A and B are shown apart, each in its own frame.
Chain A
Amino acid sequence: MCGIVGIVNTDGQVIDGTHIREAIRIQRERGNGLGGGFAVYGCYPDNKDKYAFHVMYEGDRNSSVIPVVEDYLASRTNITQSEQIPVYPNERIPKGPYFKRYFLKPIKEFLSPQQTEADYIVDLVMTVNKMEGVFVVSSGKNLGVFKGVGYPEDIADYFGIQDYSGYMWVAHNRFPTNTPGWWGGAHPFTILDKTVVHNGEITSYGTNLRWLQMYGYYCMLQTDTEVISYIFDKLTRKDGLSDEDACYVMAPSLWEEIDRTNDKKKRYLRQIYGPAIVNGPFGIVLTHKDGAIVLNDRNKLRPVVCARSGNTYYASSEECSIRLLSPEVESLWSPRGGEPVIIEMQKETDQGTA
């Protein structure tokens, strides 16, 4: 069991972090204090053309891995700004790892001919994540992830979430069931501009993992969320699938239905992407710079409710969060298992091209 909340304003109007904090706080029942986190899109407008690396170092500011990571990043990128991420230790969370953020741009000459800029950044993230005692929390442009061990409202206060604003927010309240609670393992999970919050426990993990390994994805966290993010990244970024098709691959229709409708594309997608099917209970909110996707497993084994109020869309594990955010919500519905809800930004976002 976990709790998730997502808010998107498709006009790109920004809201501050107090709303999402409240929305996830009232789902306290769904977590156990072992993980909470937030992702916010549009939070670094002054640095929107640079990749914002949030990096978590185990230990304190004297951790020996810090210079190793910084030397590595400096050798591969131009770091325009580097700073400690402000934190506000309190009674409930007196201490955490050491967080830094870097705004950086890849050194173009270092890209190999087949490599896109995104591939290059993903490689950097994978390399750093293989080092001991360090973890890249987020790596997208104009986007930040703040997460840790604690209830989400306490994590919000620890990072001073109310000081950040964005046009899209997601939050997660964790009740860990398969991996121990640690700061890096909290959700959301992100790679480049793609972020996943997830409630569930996928049973296809081993199959998905091996498939991803064929394409150089290194799953260091061993969490379901990480696997789902990578599957989506591989499908949409590397293979060029639409969001809808990527969702279809993860939660395809039954063969019986494919036979009945003789849908060639659906048969084809299910045939070639068999190992990317996601089984087991899940409700996910997947966000990227141009919108959000909400998806349930085919059997609808986890709750997800969606709603709309003007140009603001909501997704949540429980209706109460939506009612809190928008008492006069226009429409509210529970998407069927395997049928994605896809929300697209109306206007070009401030995110550059990542």
Chain B
Amino acid sequence: MAHMTSNWKIMPSFHPEFDLSRCDYENGCRICVGECSFGEISLKPVKGRNGTILYRPWANMSACNACQRCVKMCPHRAIHIVNQPMHTSHGYWTPHHVSNIWRQAGSKGGVLLVGTGATGPQKRYFDHMMFDACQVTNPSIDPLREPMEIRRYLGGKSDHYGGEVGPQLQLEVPIMFGAMSFGAVNLRVQEAEAIATKEVGTYWNTGEGGFHQRLRQYGQNTIVQVASGRFGVSEDYLKSAAAVEIKIGQGAKPGIGGHLPGEKVSEAISQTRMIPEGTDALSPAPHHDIYSIEDLRQLIFAIKEATSYKVPVSVKIAAVNNVAPIASGIARAGADIIAIDGFRGGTGATPLQIRQNTGIPIELAISAADRRLTEEGIRNKVSLVASGGIQSSSDVLKAICLGADAVYVATSVLIALGCGMCQRCFTGRCPYGITTNKPGLAERIDVGEAAEALKNLLHAWGEEIKELMGSMGISAIEAIRGNRDRLRGVGMNSEELSILGIKHAGD
């Protein structure tokens, strides 16, 4: 039996409950114990009918994260998770704040770390925008009967006949998989992303953790990142992919760097990142060679030189208030693609306070950037990619209406692979085998199945986008990019409407 320590500073939030009338412990079933990667479930000896000692599952009441792994894997449907209510009647000091302070008081004064994107109550503008549809005066288009085109090309393009079209990414769906590094996720996850994007005809992003040799066969569908830590960056690396992305910032942690703890830096990760095994992989907050826009320009052109101007160069920034002039500067600095990541964007690890309180919503950021580039007459020079909290195909299309050429999704990728949003990615103990490289856990991802799931997701969203376009009487996706006319706000004030560039519903 596991022993619990009494400590008022630790407040268990969840625990499993076992229905022993269904549980098969008497026959020695211990599946839940093996499935729980957080150490919440142990075995408690009980006396059997004829005096034998049997072991039944037992909740330790200390480590459950409500990941639901045990619930789903129990063959007898004998488990459910209970949310332990925290009894505070105070309307201002909510359980969230109280337990955070308890945790810090009990943790040697550490910074609170969390995974995934922001959970706060800020307005989700996507939910306050509705598509306009065709009725009578213009016919809607049935995507099952008429061709419906959702292909996008990303990269710089001239705006007049005779001008040059730079190197382009060709997307058969306007959705790419956002950056998730080897280290943050394991190689099986990346391989599934690579296979799915190759088969569907879109791109995945290595993140800043290098590009493992085993996956380089998928280079034509890969975007490699150059981040402040420069992990894995070499001439071969830059040349191995369809595009190179300079990562300046990330929506989940604008203005701060990253940290992969040494214990996660295994042999494979060390080789891929080109750092010694077991050392911490630290990404500084700024690039130490980029302290201004002109420095960024030098890096963009250094990469273009290294890749002989054959691949587009993207610059990824976190969505901040000044995003419009920054985007203009990046476009003029020579980038071919600008990826803007809203504050809802996910991460493997970020300080709680940064995740919850820094950055701006992607809806506002993409609209502001698109408008500024249009006003300055340089919209054709760059493509815009929106990301950060895209939850569905309608979010994708709304982002496109607000000016995005395509989107990155990453949290949705994880969910498609089984993630249940327990937000413990930074522990390296992901029960679904996604954000972990631990032997025994990582194998929970079956590459073939995972690739199939991701293809299904891309296909499903693509079909939904076609349906939405059809209802609006649009047959080619380029006719909807920046087309704010087809969106209407519901429950927004005039300032919000003006930033988004849309009218209120009924107007």
Contacts and interface: CB of A to CB of B under 8 A. Distances in A.
Interface stretch (A21-29, A46-54, A203-211): A203-211
A177 to B, nearest CB: 4
Contact of B134 (A203, A213, A238, A270): A203
Given A214-B377, A271-B157, A277 B138 contact: no
A272 B474 contact: no
B374 A214 contact: yes
Interface string B28-63: 000000000000000000000000000000000000
Contacts, number: 105
Interface string B129-150: 0000010011101000011010
Given A210-B374, A272-B380, A280 B138 contact: yes
A206 B486 contact: yes
A150 interface: no
Interface string A296-320: 0011010000000000000000000
A270 B479 CA distance: 11
Interface string A214-249: 110000000000000000000100111100010000
A277 B476 CA distance: 8
B238 to A, nearest CB: 25
B482 interface: yes
Contacts of B19: none
A349 interface: no
A274 interface: yes
Main SS of chain B's interface residues? loop
Interface stretch (B161-169, B340-348, B411-419, B438-446): B161-169
Given A177-B137, A279-B474, A280-B473, A274 B486 contact: no
Contact of B482 (A207, A272, A280): A207
A207 B161 contact: no
Contacts of A241: 161
A207 B475 contact: no
A282 to B, nearest CB: 9
Interface in B469-483: 472-476, 478-483
A206 B158 contact: no
Given A201-B137, A214-B379, A274-B481, A239 B149 contact: no
Contact of B160 (A239, A255, A256, A275): A239
B483 A205 contact: yes
B479 A204 contact: yes
B83 to A, nearest CB: 45
B482 A203 contact: no
B151 interface: yes
Nearest to B155: A271
B159 interface: yes
Contact of B165 (A214, A245, A268): A268
Nearest to B481: A207
A207 B473 CA distance: 14
Interface in A178-220: 178, 200-201, 203-207, 209-211, 213-215
A254 interface: yes
B138 A272 contact: no
Nearest to B137: A177
A15 interface: no
Contacts of B481: 207, 274-275
A205 B151 CA distance: 20
A249 to B, nearest CB: 9
A319 B165 CA distance: 43
Contacts of B137: 1, 177-178, 201
Contacts of A201: 137-138, 473
B379 A204 contact: no
Nearest to A236: B161
Given A239-B161, A272-B161, A210 B482 contact: yes
A184 to B, nearest CB: 21
B488 to A, nearest CB: 12
B295 interface: no
B171 to A, nearest CB: 11
A328 B398 CA distance: 53
Given A203-B134, A203-B138, A298 B475 contact: yes
B499 to A, nearest CB: 16
B485 interface: yes
A168 B19 CA distance: 86
4 smallest beta-carbon distances between A and B, as pairs: A206-B485, A204-B479, A274-B478, A206-B483
Interface of A: 1, 177-178, 200-201, 203-207, 209-211, 213-215, 235, 238-241, 245, 252, 254-256, 268-272, 274-275, 277-281, 298-299, 301
26 contacts: A203-B474, A203-B483, A204-B483, A205-B485, A206-B401, A206-B486, A213-B375, A214-B159, A214-B377, A239-B162, A245-B161, A254-B149, A255-B149, A269-B161, A271-B153, A272-B380, A274-B153, A277-B479, A279-B473, A279-B476, A279-B480, A280-B473, A281-B139, A281-B473, A298-B475, A299-B141
Given A271-B153, A299-B475, 4 more contacts: A177-B138, A238-B160, A279-B476, A301-B139
